[in-house]
Amino acid sequence: MATAKDLGASNTVDNTVVGPSILISGRLTGDEDLTVRGRVEGELTLSRTLIVEPSGVVKANVAVRNAIVSGVVVGNINATESVELTREGRMVGDIRAPRVIIVDGASFRGRVDMGDVEPGRLPAERPVVARPTTTTRPTIRPGATPPRPPVPPARPAPTPPPAPRAAPAPTVVSRPVGKPLPPPPPPAPVAPRLPEPRPAATEQAGGANAPTPMLMGAGAKKKVVVKKKTR
Amino acid sequence: MANTVIGSSIVIDGEISGDEDLVIQGTVKGKISLKESLFVEGSGVVEADIETQNVDIAGRVTGNIVASDKVELKTDCRVVGDIKAPRILIADGASFKGNVDMDMKER
């Protein structure tokens, strides 16, 4: 952009503009952006971007880094980065560039060569990876990450109740408790099914009442499972 | 207002013609014919025959200049060639080598 600086001192304009009534015929080369609103004929070589505006007409072989065509181009474009034909762009000639963009409404006749096609479909994998994490959320989705805190409270709240229930349950359910005693072993195996939550729940429950926790644990398990999902 | 600007890194080898002002900060070789004003700025280099209404030169020009109105050579400009115009201004510090012709009748 040293050029821009140099220009800045003498003029307010940064880049090169070919006005609508201007005709340049011959060879044009440069290291800055070029905007064509008039006509350029011959040969055009830039190390930067060529912009052909709707009023612009380029009848030339063009070698640039980027080309944005909203006007008329007759000739071949060879771009090191990209060529874009906008809705108003009309072109006849061959395009050779790694990225070629032709939007609806553009008019083009010629060949396109994007070189070696490399389908870098990494994005597909990314979504998949994202999904796993998101998968847990589906239910939570509406809340997204931020909402999580609020949502978990709601569900966790239920779970906490279970704990209380567990406590009351022991007293109330104490009757059935008789059977609970045997169950204790199963709970242990069950614990593996529900990795962390259960242990905690069972432990807490166990802390309150060893026997009752078992039954509670079963109920808690389901609820706990929900917790994990939420988490 | 100058619609057309030839930036300092631009090199044009050929012919420029048009009906609007032209500012040259880069290099133009060949021929320039305008119906308006030509500005050759400090960084501008012109090696061309020029035919316009007005010419304002602060850079370098090599070639013959024909203007229908005025030619102005500013300080620090360097001009080599013949100038033909009804009004010709040469500022202090300008460098010029060539013929000057202000004869209106001839035009």
Q: What is the mean pLDDT of each run of 10 residues along chain A (231 residues)?
A: 36 72 94 94 95 96 96 96 95 94 93 77 44 42 43 46 46 46 48 48 45 47 50 45
- Pairwise CA distance, residues A62 & A44, whole Å: 5
> For position A40, what pLDDT does the model report?
95
Q: Chain B neighbours among A 106-165 (CB < 8 Å)?
A: none
Q: Is the ipTM of this complex over 0.90?
A: no
* Residue corresponding to tokens 């706990």: A224
Distance, C-alpha B30 to centroid of its chain: 12
| Residue among A10, A14, A20 whose CB faces B41 most closely | A10
C-alpha pair distances (Å), A10 with each of A1, A37, B58, B67: 15, 23, 10, 23
- Pairwise CA distance, residues A159 & A178, whole Å: 25
Mean pLDDT computed over B13-20 = 94
Which of A17-21, A194-198, B4-8, B46-50 has the weakest average pLDDT? A194-198
**Pairwise CB contact (< 8 Å): B9 & A22:** no
The yes-or-no verdict on residue B101 having pLDDT over 80 is: yes
CA dihedral of residues A201, A206, A208, A209 (deg, nearest 10):
130
Nearest CA among A226, A161, A169, A168 for reference residue A197 = A226
> For position A120, what pLDDT does the model report?
56
> For position B19, what pLDDT does the model report?
93
Contacts of B2 in chain A (CB under 8 A): 13, 19
> For position B74, what pLDDT does the model report?
94
- Pairwise CA distance, residues A231 & B8, whole Å: 61
> For position A119, what pLDDT does the model report?
61
Global pTM reads 0.59
